[in-house]
């Protein structure tokens, strides 16, 4: 079925996720012979979709961040659409209702209107509002792209503006859950990117969920003549004298390419490059450990009828923020509750969904027997839905179907070592690697979220494959 | 192509890469990026479209020559004089 896998191309792209497809579109648009490969049968990578028991599910997408209205210029969302030549209206975006960061006794609500968060801070932390205003003014002037530099952590910088640690925790909770590969804190450059995409801009969801975006990307790529080959995993990356020259597929087929863009991740890409590089960027030294278990519950009753009108609730049941890989298989003391139906412009679902995301242990899930695995998934659902009761309704008697994905699922579908979601703590902002003609994009380049992933693919394609390519 | 044609060619490229911009009021002498929203990614697209449509290669260190419509016409004229204007491709 489909096209034959070629033996040469201009640019070879590993991974048919958001970054790979976006990069592919850019290159196909300018007549490059471009090949996108993915080991999995479905495209989308960390943001994909599937059906179970006849019911459609999304993976990854809680929200599309970086929401701006149509016509707003110079923001990540409008820049990627222009670069990909996809009309704004094609995304069919609906804005979030309202979200919150919630600790025992104190909540900070926020929406796509930044003033809501500001007024919440002014009301609940009056002594901090001047510092908050200085902070938000500083961040508003930062560029939206990740920058290289000394690794400074967000808590250190935030202490220059905010003295109340509870407020710092409230502001950090959504940001850490949205993209920190490190426990309890996040590197400052990533913090800035996420502050802008979550708080200055905001959340939206395409009508139809992640499928809508992925279908647009795939169709656009194919219409431009790009080749997409699914079920074609890369077994080995070929290089000579420090230069990447091609790949060998699982099938043994060899493809030579002038350059390779990999969205597989730092550790995962280097593992394809032979012993020396595999050792230098080994799992032990470089892999992240933040991964998650997510229970998607389908309900017999809309959540609004149970008294819940939030879009996303980032919750923490203890006084201080907990964000770390747990000792046990999962930890229900903090997490994310997402109601994908709580966006404007959504088609009412016969079975409304609630998604509960908890931190997971990066190894234990792989060691379980099938019985232990199934039992732990069940206990994550039970314990999680009990833990969120201070923040969300009890849905346990309203649940008609549950599907749970774990680090094991993430590894199976993305190839990420340990099933990690936010990649390695070591990022490559310019995409370069130890090998010439091999570049990283996606999560380990340092861009986050769906819009970030697409921007990463575009930026890496522009810099390393268009600007640099000879005529 | 005359210099006037080259200005039309550039405007048509901008209309393709930035369909939401209003181009009727563009003047030839002010910086393009001051008149409409164009960032470095968009300038790369102007360069890539020139290559695709007219086989003209603008080296990276000459991107600055594309700052205004007049400077585009002056810089590109030697490469485009013999070429035919293509609109709406």
Chain A closest CA to B74's CA: distance in Å? 22
Half-sphere exposure of A108 (CA within 13 A, CB side): 23
In DSSP terms, A314 is beta-bridged to A101, A336
| CA-based nearest distance A430→chain B, Å | 15
A154-198 per-position pLDDT tens digit: 999 999 999 999 999 999 999 999 989 899 999 998 899 899 999
> What Cα–Cα distance (Å) separates residue A350 from each residue in A8, A159, A251, A400?
48, 47, 43, 11
The complex scores an ipTM of 0.90
State how far the alpha carbon of A133 is from the alpha carbons of A138, A145, A161, A372, in Å.
9, 22, 9, 50
pLDDT at A1 over 60: no
Contacts of A76 in chain B (CB under 8 A): none
Q: Which pLDDT band, with edges at 50, 70 and 90, does A40 fall under? A: very high
Q: Tell which CATH architecture fits domain A8-61+209-286+422-466.
A: 3-Layer(bba) Sandwich (3.50)
Chain A, nearest residue to B55 by Cα:
A471
A467/B44 CB distance under 8 A? yes
Q: Which of B39, B51, B60 sits opposite A79 (nearest CB)?
A: B39
Q: Among B13, B42, B48, which would you mutate to test the A interface (most chain A Cβ atoms within 10 Å of its Cβ)? A: B48
Q: Sort out which chain B residues have CB atoms less than 8 A from A82's CB and list them.
A: 17-18, 20, 41-42
B60: closest chain A residue by CA? A467
- A87: closest CA of chain B, how far (Å): 9
- Residues A149, A150, A154, A158: what is their CA dihedral angle, to the nearest 10 degrees? -100
- Token pair 């999560």: residue: A443
Of A409, A469, A453, A426, the C-alpha closest to A15 is: A453
Where exactly are the structural domains of chain A?
8-61+209-286+422-466, 97-201, 289-414
Chain A residues with CB-CB distance to B18 below 8 A: 82
Name the token pair of A170: 């409230």
Query: Which H helix or E strand runs over A333?
Result: strand A330-338
* Candidate from A30, A466, A471 with C-beta closest to B57: A471
Q: Provide, as residue numbers in chain B, all residues whose Cβ is less than 8 Å from the Cβ of A74.
A: 37, 39
CB A326 within 8 A of CB A359: yes
Whether B37 and A74 lie within 8 Å, measured CB to CB: yes
Question: What tens digit of pLDDT does each residue of A373-409 get?
Answer: 999 999 999 999 999 999 999 999 999 999 999 999 9
The pLDDT value given to residue A467: 85
A30–B52 CB contact, under 8 Å: yes
Whole-number Cα distances in Å, A13 to A244, A424, A425, B67: 13, 20, 23, 33
**pLDDT of B4 strictly over 70:** yes
Residue A263: what pLDDT? 96
Helix/strand/coil for A343: strand
Does residue A2 surpass a pLDDT of 60? no
Calculate the average pLDDT of chain A: 93
Which residue in B22, B34, B44, B52 has the most chain A C-beta atoms within 10 A of its own C-beta, making it the best mutation to test that interface?
A: B44
Q: Assess contact for A355 and A177: CB atoms under 8 A.
A: no
Q: With left for phi above 0 and alpha for psi between -120 and 50, is residue A147 left, alpha or beta?
A: beta
Percent of chain A at pLDDT above 70? 97
d(CA B18, CA A128): 42
Between A114-124 and A129-140, two packed helices, what is the crossing angle to 10 degrees?
Answer: 160
Q: Which residue has the tokens 């991964």?
A: A291
**Each residue's pLDDT tens digit, A319-341:** 999 999 999 999 999 999 999 99
Name the minimum distance, in Å, from the CA of B22 to any CA of chain A: 12
How far A145 CA lies from chain B's nearest CA (Å)?
13
- Please work out, in degrees rounded to the nearest 5, the angle formed at the alpha carbon of residue A155 by the alpha carbons of A440 and A452: 30
**Alpha-carbon span A402 to A407, nearest angstrom:** 17
Quick check: helix, strand or coil at residue A457?
helix
β partners of residue A255: A247
Buried-exposed string A37-65: b where 16+ CB fall within 10 A, e elsewhere: bbbbeebbbbbbbeeeeebebbbbbbbbb
**DSSP class per residue in B17-60:** H-TTS--TT--SSS-HHHHS---HHHHHHHHHHHHHHH-----G
Distance from CA of B57 to the nearest CA of A (A): 7
- Predicted pLDDT of residue A447: 82
**Per-residue pLDDT for A11 more than 60?**
yes
Whole-number pLDDT of residue A94: 96
pLDDT confidence of residue A327: 96
Q: Using CB atoms, which residue from B17, B51, B57 is nearest to A82?
A: B17
Encode A115-145: b = buried (16+ Cβ within 10 Å), e = exposed.
ebbbebbeebbeebbebbeebbeeeeeeebb
pLDDT of res. A133? 98
Q: Do A74 and B52 touch (CB under 8 A)?
A: no
Give the H/E segment covering residue A176. Answer: helix A165-179
Q: Residue A294: which H helix or E strand, with range?
A: strand A291-299
Domains and CATH numbers, chain B: 3-80 (1.10.1200.10)
């Amino acid at each position: 079925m489909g096209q034959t896998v070629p033996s040469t191309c201009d640019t070879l792209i590993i991974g048919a996720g958001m970054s790979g497809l976006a990069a592919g579109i850019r290159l196909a648009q300018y007549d490059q012979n471009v090949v996108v490969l993915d080991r999995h049968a479905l495209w989308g990578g960390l943001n994909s979709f599937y059906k179970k028991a006849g019911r459609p599910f999304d993976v990854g997408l809680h929200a599309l961040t970086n929401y701006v209205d149509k016509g707003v210029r110079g923001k990540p969302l409008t820049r990627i659409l222009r670069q990909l030549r996809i009309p704004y209206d094609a995304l069919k975006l609906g804005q979030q209702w309202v979200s919150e960061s919630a600790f025992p006794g104190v909540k900070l609500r926020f929406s796509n209107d930044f003033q809501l968060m500001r007024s919440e801070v002014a009301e609940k932390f009056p002594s901090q509002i001047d510092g908050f205003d200085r902070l938000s003014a500083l961040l508003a002037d930062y560029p939206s792209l990740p920058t290289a530099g000394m690794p400074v952590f967000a808590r250190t910088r935030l202490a220059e503006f905010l003295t109340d640690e509870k407020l710092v925790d409230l502001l950090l909770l959504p940001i850490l859950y949205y993209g920190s590969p490190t426990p309890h804190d996040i590197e400052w450059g990533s913090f800035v990117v996420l502050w802008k995409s979550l708080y200055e801009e905001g959340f939206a969801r395409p009508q139809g969920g992640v499928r809508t975006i992925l279908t647009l990307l795939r169709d656009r790529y194919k219409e431009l003549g790009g080749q997409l080959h699914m079920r074609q995993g890369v077994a080995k990356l070929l290089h000579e004298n420090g230069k990447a020259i091609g790949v060998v597929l699982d099938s043994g087929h060899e493809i030579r390419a002038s350059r390779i863009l990999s969205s597989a991740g730092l550790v995962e890409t280097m593992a394809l490059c032979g012993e020396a590089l595999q050792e230098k960027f080994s799992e032990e030294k470089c892999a992240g450990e933040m991964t998650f278990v997510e229970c998607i519950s389908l309900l017999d009753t809309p959540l609004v009828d149970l008294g819940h009108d939030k879009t996303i609730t980032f919750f923490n049941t203890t006084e201080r923020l907990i964000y770390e890989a747990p000792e046990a298989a999962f930890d229900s003391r903090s997490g994310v509750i997402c109601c994908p139906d709580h966006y404007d412009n959504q088609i009412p679902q016969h079975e409304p969904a609630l998604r509960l995301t908890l931190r997971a242990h990066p190894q234990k899930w792989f060691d379980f027997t099938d019985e232990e695995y199934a039992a732990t998934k069940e206990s994550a659902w039970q314990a999680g839905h009990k833990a969120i009761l201070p923040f969300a309704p009890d849905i346990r008697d309203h649940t008609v179907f549950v599907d749970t994905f774990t680090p094991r699922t993430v590894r199976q579908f993305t190839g990420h070592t340990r099933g990690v979601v936010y990649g390695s703590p070591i990022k490559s902002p310019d995409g370069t690697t130890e090998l010439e003609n091999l570049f990283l994009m996606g999560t380990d380049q340092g861009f986050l979220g769906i819009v970030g992933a697409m921007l990463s693919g575009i930026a890496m394609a522009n810099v390393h494959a268009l600007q640099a390519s000879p005529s | 192509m005359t210099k006037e044609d080259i200005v039309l060619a550039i405007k048509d490229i901008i209309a393709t890469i930035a369909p939401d911009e209003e181009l009727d009021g563009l003047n030839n002498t002010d910086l393009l990026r001051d008149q409409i929203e164009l960032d470095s990614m968009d300038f790369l697209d102007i360069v890539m479209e020139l290559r695709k449509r007219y086989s003209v290669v603008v080296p990276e260190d000459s991107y600055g020559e594309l700052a205004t419509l007049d400077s585009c016409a002056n810089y590109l004229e030697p490469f485009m004089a013999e070429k035919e204007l293509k609109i709406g491709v």
